[in-house]
Structure 1
Amino acid sequence: MRRRRVARVLLDSPLPQLDRLFDYEIPDELAGDAVPGVRVRVPLRSAGRVVDGFLVELGEPDASDRPLSQLEAVVSPMPVLTPRLYALARRAADRAAGSAGDILRLAIPKRMVRAEKAWLAADPPAVPEVTGDARAWADAVLNEYPGLADELLAGARLAVDAPPQPALLDDGTPVGAWALLLAAAAVRVLAGGRSAIVAVPDHRDRAQLEAALQARVPADALVRDDAKQSGPTRYTAFLRALADAPCIVIGNRSAVYAPVADLGMVAIWDDGDPLFGEPLSPGVHARDAALLRQELDGGALVFAGHTRTTDVERLVAVGWVREVPAARRRSPRVVLTAQREGESRAARVPSSAFTAAREALVEGPVLVQVSRPGYAPVLVCAQCRHPARCPHCGGPLHAARHGAVPACSWCGRAAHAWTCPECSSTMLRMASSGSERTADELGRAFPGVRVIVADGDHPVVSVEGRPALVVATRGAEPLAVGGYRAVILLDGDRMLMADDLRIGESCLRWWSNAAALAAPGAPVHLVGVGGDIARSLATWTQPAYARSELADRAPLRMPPTVRVAALDGPRKTVDAALAELRRAVPELDAEAVLGPLAHGDTVRALVRFDYGLGTRVAESLRASVVSQAVKGRRPAKGRPPGAANTLKVRVDIPDLDL
């Protein structure tokens, strides 16, 4: 009997029941092209159609008489799915109770035929050469952290507090000192003949890192992984990362999956930024993907930032990540500022901060951080202070400028002739000041001074070193040549009022990142905030604040001291999944499950579990999702196919939000 060649294929399908390898026979005409990693097209008999997939591995030759469908076609001769990338996708999906195919859709860009043909026709990239000057520069930067260079080469897991100061490149381009540190680490790894991956939150951070690297590594060794790139450009960058020649990959959260051949380092800058959280299923955070990748591929793992998240601090506490301090501790000059006796409580800028800004404007720019964009992002009734809502959709009303007709932030409709439903008043009052209103107020207070607004609607990357007032929302602060001569952090008390478990560490991160833009010795005024979080900023001891947060959350079993999974769906479905989870993991205590509580048209339940139980909890929840999906294939009469597949599971949610 002829022994059939067998291909094991992962189907590109969103159906959870198809998240496994399927065996297909390789016909003789495709034997030469059907190699592991290529894209293939295969028949799906249960659906009566042809679907795409990846040939993951070749199975043992099969001489049995079991029925096997044949491969329909090999879509591309380029092996884009490496064994290591598939192993990472499988591990990440299993940990998050998701599908490996969902991970691969994030990691592997769509095929671009012309870009692929051009790549295959060109010569393979050469091994990059790092000059002696670049090596010496990298060593000099890394020497500020004793032992860091050796730890990188040894493949250690490290937490590094970046220097909180601005810097200038040789061509006068302003960057953060953190970009020089991570660029030096990447250059050091590349000089050792291995690849480096550096993931940053957004394009502003990527531009700084790219500028720090461009003059020190060959152009073809610097690979940009950015979802905003055009399809051909991103696919070409992916193919370059696949090559055997080492490179440096910089990009956003998906960069941690870059299929480099010999990984020497994965670094994540500012892992507390919410942009590192993946919104698409299965929602694996870039930090968790980097931890899994370091376990599988080796190499160093670096978490760098101006603050320390509780997630990284927990890893430091258990000894999984090692802290590397700087030889010389640097910190901004933070001043805790409150209103003096006799000052109006309505004054947003106390006299001491106002005086510091006036003196600093003689020398250069001053940064003023505010919490919200716009002119008046929140309006209330002038008589009863009830929040002003849109009469059509219930959304909050805001004012685009002074004297403008209020408009809804949700539907955009103008609220002509608004009337308060509580007291029937027709008068509105501004309850908060956005970036534009703050700019107007400061412009009147500092006549003749240039005022710059930087927010989502007015993006500004950098400002010159001449006097100017820069009013920016949190996270949108532009770089200043030579650093800001003063920084004023407003609305801190309002920021801390947000209903969020992690609002404290988020505020500390916003303030610390803004303080790091100040010139050495320039004052940083934190207005109207006290307590542990203010002392942590003033003494620049952010890891200590993270430790205190962990100590407070541990007795309450709050993340990240425990892992949390959320189940959403009809009550009957959620109850069945929870019952199965109790049977599969009897070690769960009586208070592990919160809910289910009504959540719109469905219910939501939260499951808290220790890290040691993670594998079994994820397996049970995934089995419930698959079971529910299979039931959805045979719907009741009158219901569309798939209507019963309503159970949604999300593992490692950051907050207890019922």
Structure 2
Amino acid sequence: MSVRRVARVLIDSPLPQLDRLFDYAIPDALATDALPGVRVRVPLRSAGRMVDGYLVELGEPDASDRPLSELDAVVSPVPVLPARLYALARRAADRAAGSAGDILRLAIARRMVRAEKAWIAADPPATPEVAAESAAWAASVLAEYPGFTAALADGERLAVDAPPSPAVHDGAAVGAWAVLLAAAAVHVLASGRSAVIAVPDHRDRAQLEAVLATYVPVGALVRDDAKQSAPARYTAFLRTLAEAPCVVIGNRSTVYAPVAQLGLVALWDDGDPLLAEPLSPGVHARDAALLRQELDGGALVFAGHTRTTDVERLVAVGWVRELPAARRRSPRVVLSATREGESRGARVPSSAFAAAREALASGPVLVQVARPGYAPVLVCAECRHPARCAHCGGPLHAARQGAVPTCTWCGRSANSWACPDCSSTRFRMASSGSERTADELGRAFPGTRVIVADGDHPVTEIDGRPALVVSTRGAEPLAVGGYRAVILLDGDRMLLADDLRIGESCLRWWSNAAALAAPGAPVHLVGVTGPVARALATWTQPGYARTELAERAPLRMPPTVRVASVDGPRRAVDAALEALRAAVPELDAEAVLGPLAHDETVRALVRFDYGLGPRVTESLRASVVSAAVKGRRPAKGRAPGRANTLKVRVDVPDLDL
């Protein structure tokens, strides 16, 4: 009996029941190219068609007579799935009760034939040589944090509070945080290892790239983000597969970059929601980075102007070490409130107004507001009832003073609106957006340049001339030399949001804006008191995170515990919860919240300790697979159901039923 070579293949499919390795026989014609990591095409008996997949590994020679289908084709000879990437995808998927294929769709760039042929024809990348001057620069920057270089060499996990100040690099404005992370990457590259840095958006990436381009040799700096063309992104992915070390920068999926010799994984501002993956299985970049460092070694750095409760929990349990700077620096924060004799409704107190007037004599002033637009919220002028669209019930807003209100949902004009409570036909502006604030400040400071920066008016950088910059949170442009004053408005309104983490979010928004101020420039937080305001004023964000953790622990709120949401038809959800209780009897009576009706389905939340995580996710994943299989085989006389009727999301950030 002849011995057959066996290929173990992961099929590229969203169906959860196919999330395992399938054995295929390797025909003699494909024996040379059928190597681990290559893309292949295989027959799927249940579907009666050819599907794509990845050859993960070669199995032991099989001398049995069991029937095995053969590989149909090797799509590409390039091994795009090295063993280290599959191990990470499998580990991340298991932790999130998801599929490894879903992770790989985020990690592996779409194949582009011409780019691949050009890459194969070119010579392999050479090992980069970092100039002595660049290595010395990196060492001098890292010296501000005693022990940083030793921690990088030892592969430690660090929480670093970035310098809260702007910087100038080759005439361009960048954050001091970008200089710090760039120095860490250059230091690691000089030691012959690779660095992977994930940032929230393209503005952060551009700052980091501007600094790294000066010190990293040509060909060793790899950009990975969705704004690239498909060929460019695939070429960048192929570069990360090479043995020569490099520095990879990009967005949340960059943490999966399969570099061969990992020396550093770094995340900037891990509290930014852009680092939370919306696609299934929803693994946050922070969790993926933790798994990556545990599997591949190297150092792990969480850097930010604030500390999330997630990272602070890791510091508290000793999994991550806090690395302070040699000299503590903080902005000059002023808690501004209305003075005696001023109207309590004054949006800009006299102290902040005076600070802006004084600062405009020498440079730009930043004014942060909560919302874009002119009047984001309208109410009835008589009874203050929110103004809603008569057609769809959406909120009405005004594009400018005197304009006919329109619906933010359906876009219809409210020409003949009448209040359903009091029948009044008059509106009142209940809030001021960025454009209305710009109009008001423009009248208060005649002759001053006014710049609006929000989603509809993106501005990334301004010069150092006097100007009033009105920006929504997160859209603040960089200013050369820093802002001469920063005024944070609408803070009380931001804190009213119905969100467990709104205090963390507000502190992050305000801290990031304060870090744009020039050294010694005043930062006025208007109309806010309490723990969040004190944390900003004293620049003790880690202390605020510790307090939040202490308050959430008795209530079993995340991240002191892990939370999974289970959505689907009531019968499927009930079956999943019953199976979970049987598999993990340690779950207490209050571990499950719900299920409650949610649209056409029901939702339940499961709270569980971190130590129970593997068993909980394994049970929930088994329920997802079971529901998917049952959905494909309906009872006799019934219409076929959906392929997957049960949805599980692990590590949801809030208890939202």
Q: What TM-score range do you get, normalising by the shorter chain?
A: over 0.9
Secondary structure at 2:615 match in 1:
helix
Is 2:592 aligned against 1:593? yes
Q: CA deviation at 1:642?
A: 4.0
Q: Partner letter of residue 161 of structure 1?
A: D
Q: Which amino acid in 2 is paired with 1:146?
A: P
1:421 Cα deviation (Å)?
Answer: 1.3
Contact 1:635–1:643 (Cα < 8 Å) also in 2: no
Contact persistence 2:305–2:508 (CA under 8 A): yes
> In structure 2, what residue type is equivalent to 1:87?
A
Aligned length, in residue pairs: 657
> What's the CA shift for 1:423?
1.4
The one-letter amino acid paired with 1:2 is S
| Aligned equivalent of 1:465 | 464
**Amino acid in structure 1 at the alignment position of 2:403:** A
Instruction: State the partner residue of 1:395.
Output: 394
Q: Are residues 1:385 and 2:420 paired?
A: no
Query: 1:656 maps to which residue?
Result: 655
CA deviations over 1:88-114 (Å, ceiling 9, x no partner):
000000000000000000000110000
Partner of 1:120 in structure 2?
A: 120
1:455 maps to: 454
Superposed displacement of residue 419, structure 1: 1.2
Runs of 4+ aligned residues of structure 1 deviating over 2 Å after TM superposition are: 636-645
- For residues 421 and 4 of structure 2, the distance between their equivalents in structure 1, rounded to whole angstroms, comes to 77
Change (3 A) 1:515 1:639: farther
Structure 2 distance, partners of 1:146, 1:589, is 45
Query: How many Å separate the matches in 2 of 1:58 and 1:159?
Result: 40
Match of 1:165 in 2: 165
Give, in whole Å, the separation in 2 of the partners of 1:229 and 1:571.
43
For the 8 Å contact 1:596–1:603, the answer to whether it is kept is yes
User: For residue 235 of structure 1, what is the aligned residue in structure 2?
Assistant: 234
1:313-372 CA-partner distances (Å, limit 9, x unpaired): 000000000000000000000000000111112211000000000000000000000000
Residue 80 of structure 1: aligned partner: 80
* Pairing 1:626–2:625 present: yes
Three-state SS of the structure 1 residue aligned to 2:447 is coil
- The letter of the residue matching 2:363 is G
Query: Any residues of structure 2 matched to 1:527-538 within 5 Å, and which?
Result: 527-538=526-537
Structure 2 residue matching 1:214: 3-state secondary structure: helix
Q: CA deviation at 1:300?
A: 0.1
- The 3-state SS of whatever aligns with 1:388 is coil
Aligned to 1:435: 434
Inter-partner Cα distance in structure 2 for 1:127 and 1:23: 38
CA separation in 2, counterparts of 1:567 and 1:325? Answer: 40
Q: Distance in 2 between matches of 1:254 and 1:603?
A: 31
- 1:530-553 alpha-carbon deviations (Å, 9 max, x no partner): 011111100100000000000000
Q: How does 1:410-559 map to 2 (within 5 A)?
A: 410-559=409-558
Q: State the Cα distance separating 1:643 from its structure 2 match.
A: 2.4
Counterpart Cα distance in 2 of 1:401 and 1:188: 52
Q: Distance in 2 between matches of 1:62 and 1:334?
A: 70
Could you say what secondary structure the match of 1:623 adopts? helix
Aligned pairs (5 A) from 1:104-183? 104-169=104-169, 171-183=170-182
How far 1:635 sits from its partner (Å)? 1.8
Instruction: Give the SS at the match of 2:67.
Output: coil
Answering whether residue 273 of structure 2 is matched by residue 269 of structure 1, we say: no
d(CA) in 1 for partners of 2:636, 2:502: 48
> Which shows bigger deviation, 121-130 or 385-394?
385-394
3-state SS in 1 of match to 2:2: coil
The alpha-carbon deviation at position 572 of structure 1 amounts to: 1.2
* Cα distance in structure 2, aligned partners of 1:426 and 1:541: 49
**Secondary structure at the counterpart of residue 219 of structure 2:** helix
How far, CA to CA, are the matches of 2:649 and 2:627 in structure 1? 15
Tell me how far apart the structure 1 counterparts of residues 52 and 389 of structure 2 sit (CA, whole Å).
47
Distance 1:157 1:362 in 2: 45
The amino acid that maps onto 1:646 is: T
> Structure 1 residues 504-513 or 629-638, which shifts more?
629-638
Where do 1:59-74 residues align within 5 Å? 59-74=59-74
Cα offset, 1:636, TM superposition:
3.7
Note the alpha carbon deviations across 1:463-501, whole angstroms, 9 max, x for none: 110100000000000000000000000000000000000
- Give the superposition deviation at 1:645: 2.8
1:326 equivalent in structure 2 = 325
Cα contact 1:40–1:71 (8 A) shared by 2 = yes
1:357/1:366 contact within 8 Å kept: yes
Q: Counterpart amino acid of 1:316?
A: V
Mapped to 1, the partners of 2:249 and 2:494 lie a distance apart of 31
Q: Check the 8 A contact 2:15/2:643 in 1, yes or no.
A: no
- In structure 2, list runs of 5 or more residues that go unmatched: none
* SS, match of residue 123 in structure 1: coil
Partner Cα distance (2:646, 2:32) in 1: 42
CA contact (8 A) 1:629 1:642 kept: no
Q: Quick check: 82-91 or 418-427, which moved more?
A: 418-427
**CA displacement, residues 214-264 of structure 1 (integer Å, 9 cap, x when unaligned):** 011112000001012111000000000110100000000000000101000
Q: Match for residue 37 of structure 2?
A: 37
User: Structure 1, unaligned stretches of length 5 or more?
Assistant: none
Checking the alignment, whether the CA contact within 8 Å between 1:635 and 1:644 is kept in structure 2 is no
- Check if 1:195 corresponds to 2:194: yes
Secondary structure of the residue aligned to 1:304 is strand
Please give the secondary structure, in 2, of the residue aligned with 1:201.
Answer: coil
Instruction: Give 2:24's aligned residue.
Output: 24
Cα separation, 1, equivalents of 2:101 and 2:111: 16
**Match of 1:487, SS?**
strand
Task: Output the CA distance in 2 between the equivalents of 1:609 and 1:650.
Answer: 13
Partner-residue secondary structure (3-state), 2:76: coil
Q: In the TM superposition, what are the counterparts of 1:291-306 in structure 2 within 5 Å?
A: 291-306=290-305
The amino acid across from 1:75 in the alignment is V
Structure 2 letter corresponding to 1:457? D
Which digits, 9 at most, give the CA deviation of each residue in 1:498-556, with x for residues without a partner? 00000000000000000000000000000000011111100100000000000000000
- RMSD in angstroms over aligned alpha carbons? 0.8
2:212 pairs with 1:213:
yes
The whole-number CA distance in structure 1 between the counterparts of 2:113 and 2:101 is 22
TM-score normalised by L of structure 2:
0.99
Amino acid at match of 1:561: T
Does the 8 Å CA contact 2:378/2:429 hold for their aligned counterparts?
yes
Q: Which secondary structure does the structure 1 equivalent of 2:612 belong to?
A: helix
CA distance in 1, matches of 2:418, 2:369: 30
Aligned identity (percent) is: 83
Given that 1:454 and 1:460 are in contact with CA atoms closer than 8 Å, whether structure 2 keeps it comes out as yes
CA distance in 1, matches of 2:640, 2:486: 58
Which amino acid in the other structure matches residue 140 of structure 1?
Answer: S
Report the AA paired with residue 133 of structure 1: E
CA deviation map 1:370-410 (0-9, x unaligned): 00000000111111111111111111111111111111111
Distance in 2, matches of 1:624 and 1:517, equals: 49
Equivalent residue, structure 2, for 1:96: 96
